[in-house]
Amino acid sequence: MMQRDIKRLSLILLFAPFALWILLLIILPHLGMFYISLREKVGPRMYEFGLENYINFFTEPIYWNTLIRTGSMSLLVTVLALLLGFPIAYYIAKIAGNRTRGALFLMCLIPLWVSDLIRAFGWILLLRETGIISSSLQWAGLINTPIEFLYNDATVIMGLVYTVILFMIVPLVSTLDGMDDAMIEAGYNLGGNGPTVLRRIIIPYAMPGIVSGCIVVFMLTAGSYLTPILLGGKNSSWFTEQIYDQFITRYNWESGAAFGFLLLAFTSLVVWGGLKLSGQTLNSTVARS
């Protein structure tokens, strides 16, 4: 009896930090935000309850266009990160020796030791019109006039891929690591060529890693703020910027909160759709890796 109580107590104590974290830092603020998002401002210090803030979003094309733009660019980033990350992860997990593996992992990690902001400034130094790349191309005689690489969508996408690719590589490595080399050999022995083995054996096996990597990368990208703002140009609006503007420059917390929830709903919807399409579940992917 005593034993059981102790066990129970230690379970509660172990669980408490997590429960407090979720309750105080995730659930309560969200409830507060949700409450704010349902308030309509009708005058100074006067509010009414209603869905006006959400309706505004759908009636104003600028807002949902920005959200769709953010969503589609985030999907593109996710696909690019997967295409680039998969070979790297495969090399680390399957081809590299035990010793080089650690070194390679470390090399993927190192950029993350520097803050987002500093990395973005690094890109700016490299890519600006009078920056390192443009001036070295000029020096090499490849171009005659300076080229501006900054301030366009391609730069934003590249910067984002660079920022998030690690979150694609890690789950991929851990899934691929668990795969028995014998399966690949068997594939070849049974007459499969490279692409067939990749398509019918490796990818299906790595699917949980692929899906969980994609989910994390998509969420991080759609919710990122610094990279799109600093590298983006005159036309590149990002939805998080919209939320910031509502909260800070327009003093409009009500619609900012509504936008926050719409972003959450939208990304959740995309993730749900992705899971349905790939035939995976959250349990078999994110929870496993």
Partner 1 sequence: MIMKLAIAGLLATTVMAAAPAQAETLRLLTWGSYAPDELVKKFEEKYPDITVEVTFSNNEEMIAKLRATGGAGFDLAQPSHDRIYAVQQEYNIYKPLDLSKINTDTMQAKLLDGVKANTTIDGEVYAVPHQWGTSGLMANKTMAPDVKAWGDLCDPQYAGKTSMRLRRTILLGMAFDMGEDPFAAYADLDKYQEILDKVADKLISCKDNLKAYWKGGDDLSAMMMSGEIVASETWDSTAYKLYGENKDIVFVPPKTGALAWIDTFAIPRKGEADDAAYKWINFVLEPENVKTMSASTGAIAAVEGGKDLLPDDKKAAVNAAFTDEDINNLKFFANIPAGVEDMEGKTLEKIKAATGSE
Instruction: Identify the burial level of 152 via C-beta atoms within 10 angstroms of its C-beta, where 0-12 means exposed, 13-18 middle and 19 or more buried.
Output: middle
252 contributes a contact to partner 1 by CB under 8 A: yes
Exposed/middle/buried for residue 285 (C-beta within 10 Å: 0-12, 13-18, 19+): buried
Least gap, CB of 2 to partner 1 (angstroms) = 18
Kindly tell me which of 1 and 46 has the beta carbon lying closer to partner 1. 46
- Please select the residue that binds partner 1; options are 62, 110, 186, 287, rule is CB under 8 A: 62
Query: Does residue 281 touch partner 1 according to CB under 8 A?
Result: no
- By CB under 8 A, tell whether 11 contacts partner 1: no
Distance CA(22)–CA(17), nearest Å, equals 9
Taking CB under 8 A as the criterion, the residue among 40, 116, 148, 153 binding partner 1 is 148
Count of chain residues binding partner 1 (CB under 8 A): 34
Interface mask toward partner 1 for 15-54; x: CB under 8 A:
-x--xx--xx-------------------xx---------
Compose the 104-143 pattern: x for residues touching partner 1 by CB under 8 A, - for all others. Answer: --------------------x---xxx-------------
Taking Cα atoms as reference points, which of 192, 190, 128 lies closest to residue 155?
Answer: 128
CB of 157 to partner 1, least distance (A): 17
User: Can you tell me the distance from the alpha carbon of 122 to that of 131, in angstroms, rounded to the nearest whole number?
Assistant: 10
**Which chain residues interact with partner 1 by CB under 8 A?**
12, 16, 19-20, 23-24, 44-45, 62, 65-66, 124, 128-130, 148, 150-151, 229-230, 233-235, 237, 242, 245-253
